[in-house]
């Protein structure tokens, strides 16, 4: 019997989405602060740090599809999602602690090892968690509400991390000291919110398959990769994630070397950016009801492009001007976080329509892998390219290629986002088509599974 969440949507969505608060807290520390910490403060260098993090992410090429398949097929007394999430929180918390609290004399192997532990734990949590959310609504617009609640909590977690950094700076802590505080906060809050998730939110009953034929992982991946809307969305998402990842990993360096911003000013600009993301989510949610999710996402990406065009003209102490850019790009971030996962839920339903199989875990594993590879490439490409063009945190301002930093920070993302817009603009799964698919699925499930 299927679980009906319609009678208690809001409270159930909050209990589900609040766990994302914990996942959001380490986002900025890991993506923005961690690479400069190991490359600059701990002296591992830009190229070595970039390669180490990329190789650690490459491990996910093997782990993500396997975890996705297990998430789709696991059957225990505790459900199909909760055991993976529970184990992942322990493993990921351990990796996060050691990664954010390194000693001064560490090697590249230390970075690589604990990055792999963290990433694998993150996979065990994130893939079942996302697949879980996709099952909470069958409505085209209802899925945006679920992802919006989850991503609002994610951004609130990110803002909390920024606040921790600002408070730490005001108390005289270095950025390295702030990372240690983040590690302790994540572990403490995580114990509380993940207990709520695991013990108060029902592990959803898997959709009754339309086909009863057993399929292995390789067969499922072959089937999924012939799903044209899925491929179109994945390529658009990958390109846009790369466009977001490059300025994210260079954010601290840009503020430090181009704007010459203080630690307090950096914290304030980061807060403005992510707070604007929270404000943007309901705006894009409302707009999507009129023009659809994919067109709304495209307009948000175009808005970010307009803002980025002005970045190369900025110089020392242009904090006020850059704050407006942070507001605009932050608003666009709200669409990046809430709309694509909601579109992915539509694609999962389309795959059920095509193949008769609920492949939500496997599909979100490919989604997760794509995100990780984009972020890993952001570090692996941006840092070595900057190195080769004559920029280094160790160089004096006079001998540093600051122009290269500005161009890679702003111009490259604009080109990538325009490419993503071209891919997504004519996306085929509209609200009308999705409603037709839902009606056909309901009729099929009333007839029972197909056997062979």
452 in any annotated domain: no
1 in any annotated domain: no
Question: What is the overall mean pLDDT for the chain?
Answer: 81
3 in any annotated domain: no
Among 242, 222, 241, 244, smallest CA distance to 231 is for 222
- The DSSP string of 76-97 is -TT-SSHHHHHHHHHHHHHHHH
Res 273 pLDDT > 80: yes
326 in any annotated domain: yes
Res 3 pLDDT > 50: no
Confidence of residue 217 (pLDDT cuts 50, 70, 90): low
- Where is mean pLDDT largest: 10-24, 238-252, 424-438? 238-252
Give the domain CATH number at 267.
1.20.1250.20
Tokens of 261: 């911003």
Res 2 pLDDT > 50: no
Q: Residue 258 is part of which domain span?
A: 8-447
356: left (phi over 0), alpha (psi -120 to 50) or beta: left
Counting residues of the chain whose pLDDT is more than 90, the rounded percentage is 19
8 Å CB contact between 25 and 182: yes
End-to-end CA distance of the chain: 24
Overall residue count recorded for the chain in this entry: 452
- The DSSP string of 13-36 is HHHHHTHHHHHHTTHHIIIIIHHH
8 Å CB contact between 74 and 80: yes
8 Å CB contact between 31 and 122: no
pLDDT digits (tens, 9 = 90+) for 37-90: 888 778 788 778 878 888 887 787 778 878 887 777 777 777 778 888 999 999
Beta bridge partners of 211: 450
pLDDT digits (tens, 9 = 90+) for 179-211: 888 889 999 998 899 888 888 877 764 544 444
Looking at residue 16, its pLDDT comes to 86
Looking at residue 237, its pLDDT comes to 92
2 in any annotated domain: no
131 in any annotated domain: yes
CA distance 156 to 149: 11
Place of tokens 């490459």: 58
Give how many domains the chain has, as a whole number.
1
Confidence of residue 4 (pLDDT cuts 50, 70, 90): very low
55 in any annotated domain: yes
417 in any annotated domain: yes
Q: Considering only 24-28, 105-109, 164-168, 400-404, which range has the smallest mean pLDDT?
A: 400-404
Res 412 pLDDT > 60: yes
- Angle of helix 319-355 versus helix 142-170 axis, rounded to 10: 150
pLDDT digits (tens, 9 = 90+) for 112-144: 899 999 989 988 998 888 877 777 666 656 667
């Amino acid at each position: 019997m299927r679980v009906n969440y319609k009678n208690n949507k809001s409270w159930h969505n909050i209990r589900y989405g609040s766990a994302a608060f914990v996942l959001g807290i380490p986002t900025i520390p890991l993506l923005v602060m961690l690479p400069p910490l190991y490359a600059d403060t701990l002296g591992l260098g830009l190229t070595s740090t970039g390669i180490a993090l990329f190789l650690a992410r490459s491990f996910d090429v093997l782990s993500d599809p396997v975890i996705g398949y297990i998430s789709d097929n696991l059957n225990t007394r505790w459900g199909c999602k909760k055991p993976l999430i529970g184990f992942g929180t322990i493993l990921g918390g351990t990796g996060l602690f050691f990664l954010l609290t390194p000693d001064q004399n560490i090697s590249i192997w230390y970075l690589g090892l604990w990055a792999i532990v963290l990433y694998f734990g993150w996979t065990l949590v994130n893939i079942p968690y996302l697949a879980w959310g996709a099952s909470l609504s069958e409505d085209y617009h209802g899925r945006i509400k679920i992802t919006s609640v989850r991503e609002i909590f994610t951004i609130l977690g990110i803002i909390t991390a920024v606040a921790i950094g600002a408070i730490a700076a005001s108390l005289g802590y270095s950025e390295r000291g702030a990372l240690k505080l983040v590690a302790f906060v994540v572990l403490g809050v995580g114990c509380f919110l993940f207990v709520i998730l695991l013990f108060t939110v029902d592990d959803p009953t898997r959709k009754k398959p339309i086909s009863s034929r057993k399929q292995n992982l390789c067969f499922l991946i072959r089937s999924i990769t012939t799903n044209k809307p899925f491929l179109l969305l994945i390529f658009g998402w990958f390109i846009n994630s790369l466009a977001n990842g490059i300025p994210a990993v260079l954010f601290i360096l840009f503020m430090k070397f181009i704007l010459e911003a203080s630690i307090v000013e950096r914290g304030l600009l980061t807060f403005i950016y992510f707070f604007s993301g929270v404000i943007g989510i309901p705006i894009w949610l409302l707009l999507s009801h009129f023009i659809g999710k994919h067109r709304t996402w495209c307009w948000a990406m175009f808005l970010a492009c307009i803002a980025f065009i002005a970045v190369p003209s900025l110089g020392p102490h242009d904090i006020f001007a850059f704050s407006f850019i942070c507001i605009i790009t932050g608003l666009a971030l709200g669409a990046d976080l809430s709309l694509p996962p909601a579109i992915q839920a539509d694609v999962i339903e389309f795959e059920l329509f095509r193949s008769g199989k609920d492949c939500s875990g496997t599909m979100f594993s490919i989604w997760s892998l794509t995100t990780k590879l984009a972020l890993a490439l952001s570090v692996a490409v941006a840092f070595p390219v900057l190195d080769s063009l004559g920029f280094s945190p160790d160089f004096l301002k006079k001998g540093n290629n600051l122009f290269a930093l500005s161009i890679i920070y702003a111009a490259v993302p604009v080109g990538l986002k325009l490419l993503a817009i071209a891919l997504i603009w004519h996306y085929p799964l509209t609200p009308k088509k999705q409603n037709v698919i839902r009606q056909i699925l309901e009729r099929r499930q009333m007839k029972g599974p197909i056997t062979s």
